[in-house]
Amino acid sequence: MTERNACIVGGGMCKWGVREASYIDMVQEAAKECLDDIPGLKPKDIDGLLFASAFVGRRSVQANTAPVVAERLGLKPTSICARVDVLCASGSTGILLATGLVESGMSDIVMVVGGEKLYTPERWQVQYDEIAAIDHDWDSPQGIGPPPIWFALTAKEHMKYYGTRREQFGTVSIINYDYGFSNLKGHFQRQLTMDDVLNAAEIAAPLNLYDCCPLSDGSATVIIASEEKAKELSDRPPVYILGGAQTSLHSVTANWPGDHLGDWPHLRLAAEKAYERAKIDSKEVDVAQVHDCFSISEIIELEELGFCPKGEGGPFVESGQTKIGGSIPANTDGGLISCGHPFGATGIRQAMEILKQLQGRATNQIEDAAVGLTHNLSGVNVEHTIVIYSREPRK
């Protein structure tokens, strides 16, 4: 069989934030914008649907959601119709699965749509429900569940072993809020000073309010298609999916795979596998979307993805290397910290930004961007998922 290339063709998202809308409302908004982004695509052309969502069952009391979403979007899938739940990496996992379906010949055009309705009148329940996202038998009873606690411990370890400073965490937030200021679909549109960050309410020391991403209601959608179909559907140049990887080396936090919490070997392994499959190295990546659920996570991810030496993520960010003109512009639409984090939609929103960067139509455009990378972690850092995109097909 002739080798098939999978491409990302277009995308759309609704407004993210605290929404007076159901998950179906937001999925329909995002899917409409996606279809508007690809004038040559009709719902009848889409033969596969993957719906990425972690909390739709708990928050919307709806099981078997993929057929419901397909019905509401006017789709009649004939190759795949399934829900994907890998918490924060649900969207990027859906993209990897859609890529495999297209490359295998099982599907021609797959819609990957992600969404969460997290806020209900009982807002306390959003945080309570998050405890269900970690190992419920072992970690939850020990109080490890709320993510800020785990990442605060991670930040302390990184400070201890590498000398990372509080101001370097703040620089991550300031840069990402600067990028997000022009993203009208994101949760926040504001800018920060270092005083804002350092004097904000403490969440879990050493992390303050602006070191943490908000949980958000929201949805995002992309279309993954064969190269042949992509060229039929759009006059824009196709963006190829070169490869990706997902690793999970533990679930219980007591079985942490690294030497300490600032050491992430599972991300290093995912990066190694993703670069190998894409046939590139980290120096060839022009723009990245990394999982800045907390400021410390972006610092460590830049290290483990090979964008700077281990332990130097703090000075790397502080020197402006993630800004436009730096060595690896990152989270150029605001990232999780500014855009927000409706779990299942985040990896899809990241893919949309990379698509626009490589097609030259992003708001915060990187000149001549040719290769882009997205990264998500899941839960209390138990999984890592990477997808690599390019203007050119695999070598």
pLDDT for 143 equals 76
Q: How far apart are the first and last CA of the chain?
A: 18
> Residue range 45-74: average pLDDT?
92
- Kindly give, in sequence order, each residue whose CB lies less than 8 Å from that of residue 100, ignoring residues fewer than 6 positions away: none
Q: Name the active-site residue from 88, 212, 293, 308.
A: 88
Q: HEC profile for 111-135? A: EEEEEECCCCCCCHHHHHHHHHHCC
pLDDT for 97 equals 98
The answer to whether 35 touches 66, Cβ cutoff 8 Å, is no
Q: Name the active-site residue from 266, 341, 375, 384.
A: 341
How far is it, in rounded angstroms, from Cα 272 to Cα 147?
26
pLDDT for 337 equals 98
> Residue range 94-101: average pLDDT?
98
* Residue 7 is among the residues annotated as catalytic for this protein: no
* Residue 136 is among the residues annotated as catalytic for this protein: no
Nearest partner of 242 among 278, 270, 273, judged by Cα: 278
Share of the chain above pLDDT 70, in %: 99
pLDDT for 61 equals 77
pLDDT for 146 equals 66
User: For 147-166, what is each residue's pLDDT tens digit?
Assistant: 788 999 999 999 999 999 99
Q: Are strands 80-84 and 48-52 parallel, antiparallel or unpaired?
A: parallel
Print burial letters for 225-238: b (CB count within 10 Å at least 16), e (below 16): bbeebbbebbebeb
CA torsion 223→72→133→180, rounded to 10°? 50
pLDDT for 3 equals 85
- From residue 347, alpha-carbon distances to 41, 135, 166, 222, 375 in Å are 22, 22, 28, 10, 8
The answer to whether 252 touches 135, Cβ cutoff 8 Å, is yes
pTM above 0.95, yes or no: yes
> Residue range 192-211: average pLDDT?
97
More confident residue, 57 or 92: 92
How far is it, in rounded angstroms, from Cα 36 to Cα 56?
26
- Domains of the chain in start order, with CATH, are 6-122+217-239 (3.40.47.10), 141-213+242-390 (3.40.47.10)
